[in-house]
Amino acid sequence: MAATPRIDKYLWAVRLFKTRSQATQACRAGKVKVDDQVVKPSREIDTGMVITVQTGPILRTIRVKELLDKRVGAKLVSQYMEDMTPEEEYKKLEIARSQAGMRPHGKGRPTKKERREMDQWFGWD
């Protein structure tokens, strides 16, 4: 276990991102914050830190319980982080998933206008 792992490596290790490069890109895009400040991928973390991560339509909030630098199984993630995301954020995800599946059969892909409206509604713009 590393003494102070990088934030991108930690987010990948606790399975918030599928790949480490996705975690790095999220940091560079300003979607990862520590104490309401955007952080770089090389930022070192410590136990007790509260990290907010924008993943898709939801803003996830986690607290670092223990440090790690190797990816762990899904069952072990709760030992290393505490999920403090409000329930309303998970409801946004449910709405997004239901909206994606409600397109009438044979209607095809959304138009540019429909896509912009969906992005604006979800706050992705």
pTM given for the model: 0.75
Domain-terminating residue out of 85, 100, 117: 85
**CATH code of the domain containing 42:** 3.10.290.10
Count the domains in the chain. Answer: 2
Domain that holds residue 39: 1-85
Instruction: Provide the CA 14 distance to its chain's centre, in angstroms.
Output: 11
Per residue of the chain (125 residues), give pLDDT as tens: 547 899 999 999 999 999 999 999 999 999 999 988 999 999 999 999 999 999 888 899 999 999 998 999 999 999 999 999 999 888 887 777 666 656 666 778 888 888 888 788 777 76
Based on the domain organization, do 59 and 48 belong to the same domain? yes
Cα 54 to Cα 21: distance, rounded to the nearest angstrom: 15
Looking at this protein, which amino acid is placed at residue 33? Answer: K
Q: What is the pLDDT of residue 101?
A: 58
Based on the domain organization, do 41 and 78 belong to the same domain? yes
Q: What is the pLDDT of residue 19?
A: 94
Angle, alpha carbons 89-93-98 (nearest 5°): 145
